[in-house]
Structure 1
Amino acid sequence: MKSACLSILCVFTVIGFSYAQSIEDLMGEVSTGNLQTKVAVLSGEQSANINGTMQTITSRVHSNNDLAADYIKEQLEALSNLSVEFQNFNTTGKNIIATQIGQTNPEDIYLVCAHYDSVTTYCADDNATGVAAVLEIARILSSQCTDNTIVYALWDEEEIGLRGANYYAEQAADDTNGNTRDNILAVVNMDMIGYDGDAPGTAGDNDFDIDVRNIANSVGIKDDLLAILNTYTFDLNEIVVNPGTTASDHSRFWNQGYSAVLVGESWETNDETPDYHTSNDRVEDIDFQYMTELTKLVTAYMATKSGLINLDNGITQSSNMLSANQSSVSYQWFNCDTNSEITGETNQTFTPLSNGNYAVEVSNGSCSEMSMCINFSVLNTEEFSTNEIKVFPNPVTSILKIENLTQSKINVVLNDISGKAVKELTTEKELIEINLNTLSPGVYFVNINADTKSSTFKIVKE
């Protein structure tokens, strides 16, 4: 960045919760746990399933970052409403471009981006943080129908001359030989968004830079970001830098006369990571709460400017059924556990016959949105008493224990925050031990069922 001198989207919900897609609600969907996991994977400190096998990204240096590119592309391809492609710009360099077409003004483009290459190993802050934020924003907004087009772009070869962004910007601006210049209305570049050296609560804590220049409507982007900061609640303090740095990808859009800004940690106040461009730039030094706040800010900006279409993809849950909030549209209910349509379930309401995770796709003809997954328990059973089932310790670091004093067979399903089943077993054992070492830190739900009783326990994996 700057030189030294400078599968179905699902969120686990509980009975009675109904999701509404206001800007503030979408900001609330930003998951610190997701950001932590993706930074750890991208920096090579945690393995992930890539190309069908568990692998570790040991390098993002431009000459050896194909595995990182594959991981990013797979993460985007798992989301709805996105067209994802590699954009090859030389023999080794490739950008990853995901496009979410606007329903009303498809030619009007808002672009959020980050570079994924690095100068050495790890490089968690530079720039696994920016990439993780773009992926999280895509996860949230790809479930929405928007008036305008959103492009989620991850650049290659930033560290050796901003090459990936330069290629894209030049192609977008080309109006020769019958080409039409792309109508990119705003570019928000996220580069190094994870380091805040101030002690929590001290004056100046959570400073961040908005780098801007008086080019096209770049100052207007800055003003919109400040308006969002003043509209919603953030633990952030903006530092506007004008003229801003040209040492990151946004500057290549300035060169083509496009509106662009950089959002990142505060180099202007000398509060950048001390381990810049070294292999000491590690996950342990990232302030993930600060990073979450910056991700929420850009999520709110992109949601506001892209124009959310008034289609409610929320679900209301009662004791015996699920009901789509949106009326007078088409419906298709899904089993999230099997990632498949439920044949014949095309009404606004749906009565599950078995415990599981369910979602609905609502469509008004031109626009379709998938709801979050709802965990549903068939209420023909009562809950276990505390003398029958005990789940401990909580929080848990490695081994989760379940004490089964019912003297009966129980089915245990461990779901992650998205509703996906990550562990499952059936047993009559009195003491059950489940190894969680391979699971990422975060919130999980333990669903325990017997013939006549059922309970759900929320746990935190540290």
Structure 2
Amino acid sequence: MKSLHSTILCILLCTFYSHSQNIQDIINQVDNNNLSLIINEFSGEQTTIVDGNTVTILNRQQANNELAGDYLIERLQALDNIVVSEQLFNTNGRNIIATQIGKTNPNDIYIVCAHYDTVADFCADDNASGTAAVLEVARILSTQCLDNTIVYALWDEEEIGLRGSQFYANQAASNGDNILGVLNMDMIGYDGDPVGQPGDNEFDIDYRNIANSVAMKNDILSVLNTYTFDLTVIEVNPGTTASDHASFWFANGGANPFSAVLVGESWETDDETPFYHSAQDRFATLDMPYLTEMVKLVTGYMVTKGSLVAVDNTVAQTITMLTSNQNSASYQWYNCDTDMAISGETNQSFIPTANGNYAVEVTSGTCVERSSCLLFDTLGLESFSTEEVKVYPIPTRNFLTIELASETSTHLNLFDVSGKLVLDKTVNESTELNIKELPRGVYFLKVNTNEKSGTYKIVKE
């Protein structure tokens, strides 16, 4: 189940928006906190659960990474709409492959990938960063119906000769697989600028004039220039052959090449981690805002190439009712707290009889998508009238006034569009919020007392 903050945000977004999810919506789902958790768990900075046991994944060297592989399988198997498999290619080698079959063009394949083995303990940047990115992209895109097939691949034994990716690429070439693009991520978390401060945020994109790799590079740059990212690209041609994308350039000895590129921190400008291939490559050395922007870019490219099927899995909410925004479909409402279908609730709208977390599964043609879980907590609560609560000015630049008609304990929660709670305050009278330091954009203010509730869209200029 999603966090309380995420479910509240979804209520707010779905109240104000009634359009189908677009690529920018998908990009915005990349979660810094989720990426941080995966990297901490996968690099052994904190314990995690594998096969029901509390474990520490301290080392992922190729002869000692069974636990790491099991972790990846469990995380991918928890997702919808994908099939997970192991590809054993020698005594120790094990690729982890998850496939999301395209609804319209199942034989048109795009791969997003990273290696998960290491040469030392921890190795947060090399390559827990890329591994976490693959899991995050899979988490987000597995909730969507796509026209084309996406393969989420985690390679083993990269550090001793690209063995896992070479095995896969050679086999795919021999099978005649129609792989249209391979996006490899290797070390995407280090940037030498001070964390949280303005900087160049440069990243490398390595490519060569092999198959359609130049066109693939251009498509990634098109995504970079179409949507909003805090990144600066460095093009590298001829690109390095020292990571798994090269296995696809030279599949079957170069006789059957595939289009492929590498994205990662900027080795070209000498801005790679100084802790490369050592146990000092720790989570604390990463620039997580930079890494998150990298994952957003990759997500944007993959969803563009995957091609979204036009199904709207968002939900509108009133004080008494939840309504799927997708018309002319089949519906099944779920109780997210139990993950059970609610008997008889198969209409487009659903009137809960108790406060709780709810979602709807929408079936349109061959596409089945489930909404995010929504926190429904308005039973017994009235909405504020326009006289009881006034929020102004909108839009605003520096300050936001909340004018209250009565002196009652009132909770104020302000969320940004990524789901982050940026302000949490309790007041007993009218107040003025200083939002000068917040970035420009759309926010949502939730105002509630023990008896009434209201949500207000805020635009920060």
Q: If the TM-score is normalised by the length of the shorter chain, which range does it land in?
A: 0.7 to 0.9
CA distance in 2, matches of 1:49, 1:272: 31
Q: Which residue in the other structure is 1:206 paired with? A: 201
Matches of 1:204 and 1:353, distance apart in 2:
51
SS of equivalent to 1:106: strand
Partner of 1:250: 245
SS at match of 2:107: strand
Correspondence 1:116-195 to 2 at 5 A:
116-174=116-174, 180-195=175-190
TM-score, scaled relative to structure 1: 0.80
Corresponding pairs, count: 393
In the alignment, is residue 88 of structure 1 matched against residue 88 of structure 2?
Answer: yes
Deviation at 1:22? 0.5
Give the counterpart letter for 1:14 in structure 2: I
What is the rounded CA distance, in whole Å, between the counterparts of 1:167 and 1:260 in structure 2?
A: 16
Find the counterpart in structure 2 of residue 70 from structure 1: 70
Give deviations 1:162-200, integer Å, cap 9, x for gaps: 1110111011011xxxxx410000000000000000246
Superposed CA deviations along residues 77-134 of structure 1, whole A, max 9, x for unmatched, are 1111000111111111111100000011000000000001110100000000000011
Aligned partners of 1:355 and 1:266: how far apart in 2?
49
Matches within 5 A, 1:269-284: 269-284=269-284
TM superposition shift of 1:201: 8.8
Measured against aligned partners, the alpha-carbon deviations of 1:334-392 in whole angstroms (never above 9, x if no partner) come to 11111111111111001111111111111113111111111111421469x9977999x
SS class of match (2:36):
helix
Q: Is the alpha carbon distance of 1:201 and 1:278 closer, same or farther for their aligned partners in structure 2, counting shifts above 3 Å?
A: closer
- Identify the residue that residue 49 of structure 1 maps to in structure 2: 49
CA shift for structure 1 position 233: 1.3
Q: Cα offset for 1:68?
A: 1.1
1:66 CA displacement = 1.1
**Which residue number corresponds to residue 239 of structure 1?**
234
Report how far residue 49 of structure 1 moved.
Answer: 1.8
Stretch deviating more after TM superposition (269-278 or 57-66):
57-66
Letter in 1 for 2:349: T
Cα 1:201–1:51 change in 2 (3 A) is closer
Deviation at 1:229, TM superposition (A): 1.2
SS at match of 2:99: strand
SS at the partner of 1:153?
strand
What CA distance in whole angstroms lies between the structure 2 residues aligned with 1:318 and 1:381? 12
The correspondence of residues 363-442 of structure 1 with structure 2, limited to 5 A, is 363-381=363-381
Q: Residue 98 of structure 1 corresponds to which residue in structure 2?
A: 98
* Distance in 2 separating the partners of 1:211 and 1:42: 26
Taking the aligned partners of 2:357 and 2:48, their CA distance within structure 1 comes to: 24
Q: Secondary structure at the match of 1:294?
A: helix
For 2:249, the aligned partner's letter is: W
Secondary structure of the equivalent of 1:194?
coil
Say if 1:166 and 1:45 are closer, same or farther in 2 by CA, change over 3 A: same
The letter for the 1-side match of 2:170 is: E
Partner of 1:409: none
* Counterpart Cα distance in 2 of 1:205 and 1:64: 37
Shift of 1:230: 1.0
Find the residue that maps to 2:262 and give its secondary structure.
strand
For residues 452 and 62 of structure 2, the distance between their equivalents in structure 1, rounded to whole angstroms, comes to 51
What SS is found at the alignment partner of 2:11?
coil
CA distance in 2, matches of 1:299, 1:277: 27
Residues in 2 aligned to 1:338 and 1:307: alpha-carbon distance in whole angstroms: 32
Partner of 1:261: 261
| 1:35 aligns to 2:35 (yes or no) | yes
Mapped to 2, the partners of 1:344 and 1:386 lie a distance apart of 44
1:9 touches 1:139 (CA, 8 Å); kept in 2? no
8 Å Cα contact 2:195-2:287 kept in structure 1: no
Q: Deviations over 1:259-281 (max 9, x none)?
A: 00000000000000000000000
Partner of 1:14: 11
Q: 2:226 is aligned with what amino acid? A: T
Larger mean CA deviation between 79-88 and 195-204 belongs to 195-204
Structure-2 change in CA distance of 1:390 and 1:108 (3 Å):
closer
CA distance in 1 between partners of 2:341 and 2:70 (Å): 28
Paired with 2:229 and 2:329, the residues of 1 have a C-alpha distance of 36
In 2, the alpha carbon distance for the partners of 1:8 and 1:66 equals 29
Q: Distance in 2 between matches of 1:9 and 1:161?
A: 41
The answer to whether the 8 Å contact 1:9/1:372 transfers is no
Identity %: 58
Alpha-carbon distance in 1 for matches of 2:148, 2:407: 52
After superposition, give the CA deviation of every residue in 1:373-429 in whole Å (9 maximum; x if it has no partner): 11111421469x9977999xx9xxxxxxxxxxxxxxxxxxxxxx79xxxxxxxxxxx
Residue 238 of structure 1, CA deviation: 0.3
Against the structure 1 CA distance between its residues 109 and 9, is the aligned structure 2 distance closer, same or farther, given a 3 Å change threshold? farther
Give the conservation status (yes or no) of the 8 Å contact 2:30–2:140.
Answer: yes
The CA distance in 2 between the partners of 1:203 and 1:53, in whole Å, is 42
Contact 2:76–2:135 (CA<8 Å) still a contact in 1?
A: yes
Label 1:386 to 1:130 Cα distance change in 2 as closer, same or farther (>3 A).
farther
Counterpart CA distance in 2 for 1:454 and 1:203 is 41
Deviation for aligned residue 1:54: 2.2
Q: Distance in 2 between matches of 1:337 and 1:365?
A: 28
What TM-score, normalized to structure 2? 0.80
